[in-house]
Amino acid sequence: MTELIQQLIAWIENIIISVGYPGVAFATFAENIFPPIPSEVVIPFAGFVAAGGQLTLPGVWIASTLGSVIGAVVIYYIGMFAGDVVFRSFLRRYGRWFGTSEGDYDRALGFFRKYGAAVVFFGRVIPLVRTVISVPAGADHMPLGKFLLYTTLGSAIWSGLLSYAGFVLGENWEEVTHFMEQYSDVVYVVIAVIAVLLVGLFIYSRLRRKPAPQPTGD
């Protein structure tokens, strides 16, 4: 699998060199549709190409943001037309084995409805999460305009940082990958801690709502 990913990355790098801005847009579109292709590799490489004068940094930034947004919209519609139905079907059949139910899923969607904009925005700057976050947005039927706004803002920040890093580092652009690995580890630890806290709060709230046992007569 790793060898296949390396071949895909090399192929995408060749497309960026050969086609230019459309190749950059295609690369970021592809990494949204197929998450194992890391944006933290393809976008800094495009920045490196810009440093060599074949492209411009603003052009790389715009093209990579555009490709990312288009890819996110595709995943959004997959979530809208398939995600909710498929997930509910899975919960009806197997939810009890995971200690969850459609009711829990509905509460999760309620959380997304309340904080969805922030989740979409910040999710776009977290590796892997930046792709899958489009699924609940589509499943919850978040208004497309709202989804596009926060997806574009988050993607623009992510693409801008990575392309600028590749531009500044030049031939050492691959160092971005090592930094992003450390960044990802920290982010995932934070997410795990937050998830544990949320689960703890959910269990605590369920226990508080549990009715006290009624005393029985002699």
d(CA 36, CA 51): 26
What pLDDT score was predicted for residue 51?
A: 84
For residue 164, tell me if it sits in a domain: yes
Band (pLDDT 50/70/90 cuts) for residue 45 is confident
In a domain, 204, yes or no: no
Tell me whether residue 199 is in a domain. no
Least confident of 93-102, 111-120, 136-145: 93-102
Number of compact structural domains in the chain: 1
User: What is the residue range of 85's domain?
Assistant: 2-174
Identify the pLDDT of residue 22.
92
pLDDT at position 147 is 92
Q: Looking at the domain assignment, is residue 50 inside a domain? A: yes
Does residue 69 belong to any structural domain of this protein?
yes
Per-residue 3-state assignment (H helix, E strand, C coil) for the chain: CHHHHHHHHHHHHHHHHHHCHHHHHHHHHHHHHCCCCCHHHHHHHHHHHHHCCCCCHHHHHHHHHHHHHHHHHHHHHHHHHHHHHHHHHHHHHHHHHHCCCHHHHHHHHHHHHHHHHHHHHHHCCCCCHHHHCHHHHHHCCCCHHHHHHHHHHHHHHHHHHHHHHHHHHHHHCCHHHHHHHHHHHHHHHHHHHHHHHHHHHHHHHHHHHCCCCCCCCC
Comparing 109 with 114, which gets the higher pLDDT?
114
79 domain-assigned: yes
pTM score, two decimals?
Answer: 0.71
Q: How does pLDDT run across 71-93, given as a tens digit for each residue?
A: 999 988 887 887 667 767 766 77
Q: Is residue 162 part of a domain?
A: yes
Structure tokens at 205: 């709230």
Q: Regarding predicted confidence, which is higher, 166 or 4?
A: 166
pLDDT class for 115, splitting at 50, 70, 90?
confident
Position 79, amino acid: G
99 found inside a domain? yes
